């Protein structure tokens, strides 16, 4: 099939015009996602030609577009025009939000802060120095952390996805993932009587800290504590993000520090690089050491990014229980799928603030950390680690990184997609249908292992805070019950149809389509074949495949931007049912439904309908 839309394929731009290139990209994303979520409803003025009006009807946004599967708006960037009273104006993403703010339902009081988040999001790409703009062909052979710090797109659905409210301009340079900075963590000793420490089975606090710090640094920290007159045996050591220490802990916990319940002992020996999730930090000094995830009380992508001491005491136990269920699974082992677990966590409780607040308060989320396994030791020498978010990256010359991976692989594009789906989609379906585990397997929560550009397996992270357990067994430990949710059978398939198809594959399909790599209809036919291939290989799950139908004609949409616009600091109440996020008024057509396999009477392999 030929591809008509070519506007997204940009030509190399001089440095001075990169700002407008990325401004137009963001404006296009705003229109595409707000059309997808039905905030704005374009008028088709001629075949493939659309117009969106501002709230006051004085300004028009005109563009060419194809509407692909899942109401995915493939907008020709080169065609995008902003016209006000007959005068053509420069495309500006901020002005676009203002022009349609009434349609978004955002209050006039909330609009300035949302615009601040959008401006911060835009600056990631617009203001990037040329020295940090890496061509896709070079990035396709780069190391894990080079790829990680080059990503600028953020969450593919959310428009204002990098607000970082609370960071100064200097903080962005030091601590934002796209800046690629590397820094030491501050370490504190916290009184054990005020602190929860929890670990997976087989993990001991003393061994963990010794492995993370080294004998010499640990001994030095002990000397500093005893020098202040404190007994190291009465304290835990924990890492703190330097911003969190300076902006929150040193002020809010000043009395705890003065009275010796918190004792600063100095920076640690290792340097860390922030990941796309911003509060997760990768150890670049000793890459096989654990990731460290720390409380970071900035507003980013719909949440204040603190970490609850209440959650820390149960997170490793949830990881432990999940591991006990899946670690010997022969199917997952056969495809090389792995999880990297949060092996230990620690959270400090200020007695006064805990007494006067309820669970969920940001004042209970100020001083916590966890340690997560590193994937580095799990790859062979010739293999490459990359965030799955990289598949949606487009370089400054308009070249998609996914295309560069495909070219490097030597495979046809559709075969590459099929290999990718076996590595990523198959285990996600399996975990949902075999174990009734639903995760959030979006771009930055999934690490791909590539061999010469070919996806060979996947590594899932963020287990304890993201998992939803459907119909957990009666013997599940009490500490794990916060992850249990009760959902009707008819929406359980949203763990794939919404969380995978709509939230990630929709965007990958659009990128491949508009760049002439794989047509949208061919992409979804490949997905359908992959799902059917998986189901054919697991006949023992047939009843669940029937109940939670992945080939259902339609499914209900979840509108992430709508959630963020309604509350940018807590866009989802984590204790609420998953079903409360569903928009009952918006049904998406399932792009694989028309490819439902017709299983022969002999129970042989599926025959795929045209």
In this prediction, residue 16 carries a pLDDT of 52
Contact 300, 278 (CB under 8 A): yes
Q: What letter would DSSP give residue 183?
A: B
Question: Which two structure tokens, joined as six digits, stand for 168?
Answer: 């100064």
**Residues contacting 521, CB < 8 A, separation 6+:** 1, 69
Q: Does an H or E element contain 250, and which? A: helix 250-252
User: Do residues 440 and 409 touch, judged by C-beta distance below 8 A?
Assistant: no
Q: What does the block give as tokens for 11?
A: 């030509």
**What rounded mean pLDDT belongs to the chain?**
92
Instruction: Quote the pLDDT of residue 575.
Output: 58
Q: Which residue has the higher pLDDT, 11 or 548?
A: 548
Quick check: helix, strand or coil at residue 39? coil
Q: Which residue has the tokens 């001075």?
A: 16
pLDDT digits (tens, 9 = 90+) for 124-172: 999 888 888 999 999 999 999 999 999 999 999 999 999 999 999 999 9
pLDDT value at position 471? 80
CB-based contact 308:367 (threshold 8 Å): no
For residues 41 and 67, the answer to whether their CB atoms sit within 8 Å is no
**Alpha helical stretches, state H, 398-518:** 401-409, 413-435, 489-492, 494-496, 506-514
Find where tokens 């992508």 sit: 301
Of 302-306, 379-383, 416-420, the range with the lowest mean pLDDT is 302-306
CA angle 57, 61, 64 (to 5 degrees): 140
User: Which residues are within 8 A (CB) of 6 and not within 5 positions of it... i.e. 6 or more apart?
Assistant: 76, 78, 514, 516
The C-alpha atoms of residue 430 and residue 240 are separated, in whole angstroms, by 37
* Residue 457: its H or E element: strand 454-460
Q: Using the 8-state DSSP alphabet, how is residue 35 labeled? A: H
- Whether residue 362 contacts residue 332, with contact meaning beta carbons closer than 8 Å, is answered with no
Look at residues 557, 549, 524 and name the one whose alpha carbon lies nearest to residue 69.
Answer: 524
Please say if the pLDDT value at position 1 is more than 60: no
Give the CA dihedral 278, 402, 373, 249, nearest 10 degrees: 0
Q: CA 217, 221, 226: angle at the middle one, nearest 5?
A: 145
Average pLDDT over residues 218-228: 98
Q: Is the pTM of this model over 0.85?
A: yes
The pLDDT score that the predictor gives to residue 201 is: 97
Span of 364-368, 449-453, 478-482 with lowest mean pLDDT? 478-482
How many whole angstroms separate alpha carbon 208 and alpha carbon 223? Answer: 19
Q: Please, which residues have CB within 8 angstroms of residue 364's CB and are 6 or more apart in sequence?
A: 306, 308, 309, 310, 349, 353, 354, 357
CB 400 within 8 A of CB 139: no
Residues 93 and 311: their CA atoms lie apart, in Å, by 38
What DSSP assignment string belongs to 118-141? HHHHHHHHHT--GGG---HHHHTT
pLDDT, residue 100, reads 97
Separation of alpha carbons 354 and 544, rounded Å: 43
**The predicted structure's pLDDT at residue 475:** 82
The length of the chain in residues reads 610
Give the whole-number percent of the chain exceeding pLDDT 90. 85
Distance CA 50, CA 282 (A): 45
Name 546's Cβ contacts closer than 8 Å, sequence gap at least 6: none
pLDDT, residue 472, reads 78
Q: Please state, for a pLDDT cut of 70, what percent of the chain lies above it.
A: 94
Phi and psi torsions of 331, nearest 5°: -65, -50
pLDDT digit string (tens) for 502-529?
999 999 999 999 999 999 999 999 999 9
| Dihedral in degrees, nearest 10, Cα atoms 155, 522, 590, 449 | -40
Highest mean pLDDT among 5-14, 496-505, 559-568: 496-505
Cα–chain center distance at 363: 25
Element (H, E) at 333: helix 330-335
Q: Yes or no: say if 74 and 7 are a contact pair by the CB < 8 Å rule.
A: no
Are the C-beta atoms of 489 and 504 separated by less than 8 Å? no
**pLDDT of amino acid 610:** 33
CA 12 to centroid of chain Cα atoms: 29
pLDDT, greater one: 515 or 2 = 515
Residues 539-559 pLDDT 10s: 999 999 999 999 999 999 999
C-alpha angle 333/337/341, rounded to 5°? 105
DSSP per position, 259-320: TTSEEEEEE-S--EEE-TTSSEEEESSSTTSPEEEE----EETTEE----HHHHTTHHHHHH
Is pLDDT at 602 greater than 60 in this prediction?
no
3-state secondary structure of 472: coil
Q: What is the CA radius of gyration of the chain?
A: 25
φ, ψ (nearest 5 deg) of residue 474: -65, -25
Residues 70-110 pLDDT 10s: 999 999 999 999 999 999 999 999 999 999 999 999 999 99
pLDDT band of residue 42 (cuts 50, 70, 90) is very high
The one-character DSSP state at 501 is: I
Q: pLDDT by residue (tens digit) across 569-599?
A: 887 765 566 667 888 889 999 999 999 998 5
Return the domain boundaries, the chain: 18-105, 182-372, 383-595
- Predicted confidence (pLDDT) at residue 8 exceeds the cutoff of 70: no
CATH number of 383-595: 1.10.510.40
Output the CA–CA distances (angstroms, integers) from residue 530 to 279, 427, 524, in the order listed. 35, 12, 10
Q: Could you confirm whether domain 18-105 is CATH 3.30.70.660?
A: no
Tokens representing 89 are 């104006």
Tokens coding 561: 């931007």
Parallel, antiparallel or unpaired: strands 383-387 and 437-438: unpaired
Vertex 121: Cα angle to 150 and 181 (nearest 5)? 40
Question: Residue 146 is inside which H or E element, if any?
Answer: helix 144-150
What one-character DSSP code corresponds to residue 600?
Answer: -
pLDDT at 2 > cutoff 60: no
117 or 601, greater pLDDT: 117
pLDDT in tens, 428-444: 999 999 999 999 888 89
- Determine the Cα–Cα distance for residues 242 and 170; give it in Å rounded to an integer: 13
């Amino acid at each position: 099939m030929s591809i008509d839309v070519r506007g997204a394929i940009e030509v190399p731009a001089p440095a001075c015009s990169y700002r407008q290139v990325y401004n137009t990209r963001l404006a296009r994303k705003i229109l595409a996602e707000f059309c997808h979520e039905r905030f704005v409803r374009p008028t088709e003025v001629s075949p493939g030609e659309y117009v969106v009006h501002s709230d006051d009807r004085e300004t028009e946004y005109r563009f060419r577009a194809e509407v692909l599967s899942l109401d995915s708006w493939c907008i020709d960037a080169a065609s995008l025009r902003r016209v006000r009273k007959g005068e053509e104006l420069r495309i500006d993403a901020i002005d676009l939000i203002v022009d349609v703010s009434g349609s978004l339902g955002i209050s006039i009081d909330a609009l300035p802060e949302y615009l601040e988040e959008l401006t911060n999001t835009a600056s990631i790409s617009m203001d990037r120095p040329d020295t940090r703009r890496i061509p896709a062909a070079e990035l396709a052979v780069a190391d894990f952390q080079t790829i990680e710090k080059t990503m600028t797109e953020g969450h593919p659905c959310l428009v204002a996805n990098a607000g970082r409210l609370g960071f100064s301009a200097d903080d962005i340079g030091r601590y934002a993932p796209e800046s690629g900075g590397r820094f030491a963590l501050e370490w504190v000793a916290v009184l054990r009587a005020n602190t929860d420490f929890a670990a997976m089975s087989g993990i001991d606090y003393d061994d963990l800290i010794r492995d993370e710090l080294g004998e010499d640094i640990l001994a030095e920290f002990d000397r500093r504590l005893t020098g202040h007159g404190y007994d190291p045996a009465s304290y835990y050591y924990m890492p703190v993000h330097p911003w969190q220490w300076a902006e929150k802990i040193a002020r809010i916990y000043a009395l705890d520090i003065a009275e010796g319940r918190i004792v600063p002992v100095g920076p640690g020996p290792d340097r860390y690089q922030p990941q796309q999730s911003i509060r997760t930090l990768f150890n670049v000094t000793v890459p096989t050491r654990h990731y460290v995830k720390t409380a970071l009380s900035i507003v980013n992508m719909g949440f204040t990014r603190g970490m609850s001491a209440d959650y820390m005491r149960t997170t490793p136990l949830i990881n432990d229980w999940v591991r006990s269920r899946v670690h010997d699974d022969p199917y997952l082992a056969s495809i090389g799928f792995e999880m990297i677990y949060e092996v230990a966590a620690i959270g400090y409780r200020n007695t006064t603030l805990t007494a006067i607040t309820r669970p969920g308060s940001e004042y209970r989320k100020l001083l916590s950390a966890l340690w997560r396994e590193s994937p580095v030791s799990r790859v062979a020498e010739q293999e490459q680690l990359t965030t799955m978010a990289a598949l949606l990256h487009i370089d400054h010359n308009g070249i998609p990184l996914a295309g560069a991976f495909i070219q490097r692989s030597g495979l046809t594009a559709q075969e590459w997609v099929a290999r990718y789906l076996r590595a990523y989609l198959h285990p996600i379906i399996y975990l949902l249908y075999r174990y009734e585990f639903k995760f959030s397997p979006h771009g930055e929560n999934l690490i791909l292992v590539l061999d010469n550009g070919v996806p060979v397996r996947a590594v899932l992270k963020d287990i304890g805070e993201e998992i939803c357990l459907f119909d957990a067994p009666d013997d599940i430990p009490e500490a794990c019950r916060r992850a249990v949710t009760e959902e009707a059978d008819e929406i359980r398939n949203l763990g794939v149809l919404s969380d995978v198809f709509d939230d990630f594959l929709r965007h990958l399909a659009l990128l491949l389509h508009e760049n002439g790599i794989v047509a949208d209809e061919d992409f979804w036919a490949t997905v359908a074949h992959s799902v059917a291939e998986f189901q054919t290989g697991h006949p023992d799950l047939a009843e669940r495949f029937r109940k939670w139908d992945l080939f259902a004609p339609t499914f209900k949409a979840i509108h992430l931007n709508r959630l963020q616009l309604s509350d940018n600091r807590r866009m989802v109440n984590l204790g609420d049912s998953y079903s409360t996020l569903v928009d009952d008024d918006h049904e998406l057509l399932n792009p694989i439904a028309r490819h439902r396999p017709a299983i022969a009477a002999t129970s042989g392999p599926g025959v795929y309908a045209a």
